[in-house]
Chains A and B, each alone.
Chain A
Amino acid sequence: DTGVSQDPRHKITKRGQNVTFRCDPISEHNRLYWYRQTLGQGPEFLTYFQNEAQLEKSRLLSDRFSAERPKGSFSTLEIQRTEQGDSAMYLCASSLGAGESYNEQFFGPGTRLTVL
């Protein structure tokens, strides 16, 4: 399977714990996006990378959230001191793009986070 993969698929944690999610994009894609989706809502943008550079972060991304893409390939999203409000599906997507050119984003299966 050469699509976007995410790990883990499900994560249950206690409030206050740290969690880290991984996304492996489609190999030739230079852009990688993180979104968050809660029940009954569309996905909301969190942050995106072009190669290893983090180009944009949403105001939704509090100081407890950090994302990296160290070698321009896979990315990690870490949430520190989790809160119950962080419970959501975390989606990763990747695409090819340059400058103002935007192509289709391919989505992974998501990581479902439950904070107890």
Chain B
Amino acid sequence: AQSVSQHNHHVILSEAASLELGCNYSYGGTVNLFWYVQYPGQHLQLLLKYFSGDPLVKGIKGFEAEFIKSKFSFNLRKPSVQWSDTAEYFCAVIKGKLIFGQGTTLQVKP
């Protein structure tokens, strides 16, 4: 079945560590990809998106993601995490509607 997969369900890091969250999708053709974040007690908000062009996309709060078409991947990265990055992160593909992965909970220890 076509889907979006996030490999890491729960990640625990110390402040200043580097972050990479995996996301793979199984849709062919043109794909538009998103990373959304949900901070504790807040609603989903967009971190970054890829529609076309440069496969390295920069988003808010120092996050970036790289679209690798041959690997069907769109991994999220941040060189140095902060305690305030503690949140749930969702990768999504848009095919009319958003199709989300199951999410990764990131816990950053101060």
Contact = CB atoms under 8 A, between A and B. Distances in A.
B100 A43 contact: yes
Contacts, number: 48
B58 to A, nearest CB: 15
Contacts of B6: 42
B43 A42 contact: no
B43 A107 contact: yes
A2 to B, nearest CB: 14
Interface stretch (B11-19, B72-80, B91-99): B91-99
Contacts of A109: 42-43
Nearest to B36: A107
Contacts of B34: 104
User: Which applies to chain B's interface (DSSP): helix, strand, loop or mixed?
Assistant: strand
A99 to B, nearest CB: 11
B102 A104 contact: no
A102 B96 contact: yes
Interface in B12-58: 32, 34, 36, 42-46, 49
Interface residues of B, number: 23
Interface string B87-109: 00010101011111111000000
A42 B103 contact: yes
Contacts of B99: 45
A42 B90 contact: yes
Nearest to A108: B43
Interface string A52-70: 0001100000000000000
Interface of B: 4, 6, 9, 32, 34, 36, 42-46, 49, 90, 92, 94, 96-103
Interface of A: 33, 35, 40-45, 48, 55-56, 91, 93, 102, 104-105, 107-110
